[in-house]
Homo-oligomer: A and B are copies of this chain.
Amino acid sequence: MNNEARKNSSGEKIVSESLKLFSLKGFNNTSISDILAATKMSKGGFYNHFKSKEELFTAVLSEARRVWRLQNLADVDKEDREIDRLKKILANFRDRYLKDAVHFPGGCVFITLSVELDDQMPHLSSQLSDGFKRTKALLKGYLDRAKEKGEIRSDVSTSHVSEVIFSCILGASVVYGMDKSDSQLDRNIKALIHYLESIESGA
């Protein structure tokens, strides 16, 4: 069975529909009934694929990470300079990730879930926290290499800058989740790229 066929299997459909619903309504407020309605399945069918809602959570998170990488890292390696790769990620984040209503109609699912579950279901939210740390490290990696290659000024603290960029991305996601305003998101990312350009060597 190839991957395309798997995508149409029941299990895959449950995961992709649950991903949408989780991004809209979160984990606890998405009922199994909601998922059954979206997938046109029945209880028996669902519990034949997942032994519990929490097991579904893990599968959904894994799929969400796959989509995240797919969208945010697209074409990044086509850029030559490290700083341009970072800018490409920001542009991807804006155009291919946050605005991707097919996968995430309710906005960034990682934020929705982490905010909901942090004080309530730590065993689930720790999976999210790890992802956030990896993402920040990913950003810092580009900055560190950019600094090594002299693309950004040598007096710049990559640690400080990555903190700012990462927090800004999170903040922009929160705002976009509320307003769904493309223009506001564009302003937000523009300000961030403007900030990045202010630390480049030529600036």
Q: Are A163 and B178 neighbours in the complex by a CB distance under 8 Å?
A: no
Q: Are A178 and B120 neighbours in the complex by a CB distance under 8 Å?
A: no
Q: Are B129 and A161 neighbours in the complex by a CB distance under 8 Å?
A: no
Query: Hey, which chain B residues are within 8 Å of A172, CB to CB?
Result: 167
Cα distance A3–B24 when bound, in Å?
Answer: 40
In A89-123, the 8 Å CB interface with B consists of 105-107, 111-112, 114-116, 118-120
Query: Hey, which chain B residues are within 8 Å of A115, CB to CB?
Result: 111-112, 115-116, 174, 177
Q: Are B179 and A129 neighbours in the complex by a CB distance under 8 Å?
A: yes
Interface residue count for A (Cβ, 8 Å)?
46
What 0/1 readout, one digit per residue, does chain A (147-162) give for beta carbons within 8 Å of chain B? Answer: 0000000000101110
Say yes or no for A28: interface residue by CB 8 A criterion.
Answer: yes
Query: Hey, which chain B residues are within 8 Å of A29, CB to CB?
Result: 28-29, 116, 120
Query: Hey, which chain B residues are within 8 Å of A177, CB to CB?
Result: 114-115, 118-119
Query: Hey, which chain B residues are within 8 Å of A13, CB to CB?
Result: none
Q: Are B129 and A106 neighbours in the complex by a CB distance under 8 Å?
A: no
A binding-site residues for B, Cβ under 8 Å: 24-26, 28-29, 105-107, 111-112, 114-116, 118-120, 125, 128-129, 132, 157, 159-161, 163-164, 166-172, 174-175, 177-179, 187-188, 190-192, 194-195, 198
